Amino acid sequence: MATRFNALLEDPLRRQMWSAIRKAGPLRSISVDLTSVCNIRCDGCYFFSEGMDQAGSPDSEAVDSFIARERARGTNFVTIVGGEPSLALEGLEKLYGAFRINVATNGLRRIPRTGFEELPIGISVWGDHDTDRRLRGGGRLDVFHQGLQNYRNDERAFWYYTVSAGHAHEVDSVVRQCVENGNRVLFNFYGDLDALGGDLDHEGGFADVRKAVDRAIKAWPESILMTSGLARVVSTGRLFGERWGHATCTSITPDHLANADRIGNGKPFNPHFRAYNADLETTRRCCTGVDRGCDSCFDTWQHFSWVMLHMRKHLRSEHDFTEWLATTYLFYFINRLVDPVEGAALLPEIHRRTCREEIAQTWQTETTVGR
């Protein structure tokens, strides 16, 4: 095994990505809702669909004691969601001072630079202006426009672009606007939790979206933060012989009662992980679910972890190992855990190496893949 591994690392790109990841060290990560409050209500947002807004919001002491507990537990990386974290800047600053963090925001309220100089900020967008206004702005508010204004040429920011199954035709325009705004883009895929149907129905499958993602990678290889292969894993829910679901997801709270069977089934999971509610005391089954079905979960963040925890399976071929390294490295790059200048320089080469075959493969299998 060691000889095979060393042989795989003879390739300069793979060696460079591997040593950067090693240098950054292992992540002991958790997910945290910092507040239950949000300033918009997006159609089909899991946070409201799953009743997570009922958890309350922590006061200053609760944040302090949470930080102390998690530091003692060895946590070193926190994904902050919610609710809308830009409405809880005091707590956000405390967490930023204590851990490596990443924050998801709807972009309406700018997270200031002072106090958050190197914070990786994922700004959500759900489509081009009309679609985004319809789904996130109650038909009136252009949330995408506000996000573009707030984060123009802000190197902390990247777009977390949730594409719905029937909206592949908007990908080119949305990515172009993000790139021209001076930001990079990571794709996510819309789960139609409220059964809105039609163009939002994930049952329609993401084949057209995958083609649009591949075209975006080819057009803007320096700006897309996801490999073609990862887009396929997330949007099909397939990783080698495994199928995405509660039985396989790795981002679950191990000591939560809802996961007792899951923990016993022998599949890999992240033993340190916990998904904390906004009271910063209680946990839930997983980041985006209390008891929802996982067939509507196309959350890229969780799928990153799914891939990252399956390194061994990727050792079977050079291509698979490059794919694993690229996915893991891009997670570290997005989160500013590796040198951002080196990462920016490697990005086009990563896509050149992973996208070439992927496009052919993806397009060949579009008709046979179920989702």
Residue 292 or 319 with smaller CB distance to ligand SAM: 292
Residue range at the interface with ligand SAM (CB under 6 A); choices 20-28, 113-121, 184-192, 246-254: 184-192
| Strands ordered across the beta sheet of 121-125 | 184-189, 157-163, 121-125, 100-105, 77-81, 29-33, 275-276, 283-284
Residue 81 or 350 with smaller CB distance to ligand SAM: 81
The DSSP 8-state label assigned to residue 304 in this structure reads H
**Sequential DSSP letters for 268-292:** ---TT--EE-TTSS-EESBTTBSS-
Residue 147 within binding range of ligand SAM, rule CB under 6 A? no
Residue 347 Cα distances to 22, 76, 193, 229, 263, angstroms: 18, 25, 33, 15, 36
> What is the spatial distance between Cα 40 and Cα 126, in angstroms, rounded to a whole number?
13
Residue range at the interface with ligand SAM (CB under 6 A); choices 170-178, 183-191, 216-224, 277-285: 183-191
Angle between helix axes 340-365 and 12-24 (nearest 10 degrees) is 120
State in angstroms the smallest separation of the CB of 122 from ligand SAM. Answer: 7
Residue 35 or 322 with smaller CB distance to ligand SAM: 35
Residue 334 within binding range of ligand SAM, rule CB under 6 A? no
Binding mask 100-129 for ligand SAM (x = CB under 6 A): ----xxx-----------------x-----
Residue 91 within binding range of ligand SAM, rule CB under 6 A? no
Residue 188 or 253 with smaller CB distance to ligand SAM: 188
Residue 75 bridge partners (DSSP):
none
Residue 18 or 91 with smaller CB distance to ligand SAM: 91
> What is the spatial distance between Cα 77 and Cα 91, in angstroms, rounded to a whole number?
15
Q: Do residues 30 and 75 lie in contact, with contact meaning Cβ atoms separated by under 8 Å?
A: yes
Q: Which of residues 22-81 bind ligand SAM (CB under 6 A)?
A: 38, 44-47, 81
> What is the spatial distance between Cα 332 and Cα 339, in angstroms, rounded to a whole number?
9
Residue 280 within binding range of ligand SAM, rule CB under 6 A? no
State in angstroms the smallest separation of the CB of 16 from ligand SAM. Answer: 30
Q: Do residues 309 and 270 lie in contact, with contact meaning Cβ atoms separated by under 8 Å?
A: yes
Residue 333 within binding range of ligand SAM, rule CB under 6 A? no
Q: Do residues 226 and 351 lie in contact, with contact meaning Cβ atoms separated by under 8 Å?
A: no
Token look-up 């007792």 returns 260
Residue 162 within binding range of ligand SAM, rule CB under 6 A? yes
Residue 237 or 355 with smaller CB distance to ligand SAM: 237
Residue from the set 58, 82, 120, 343 that interacts with ligand SAM by CB under 6 A: 82
Residue 193 within binding range of ligand SAM, rule CB under 6 A? yes
Residue 181 or 361 with smaller CB distance to ligand SAM: 181
State in angstroms the smallest separation of the CB of 161 from ligand SAM. Answer: 9
- Residues with Cβ < 8 Å from 111, sequence gap 6 or more? 85, 86, 89, 92, 103, 105, 119, 121
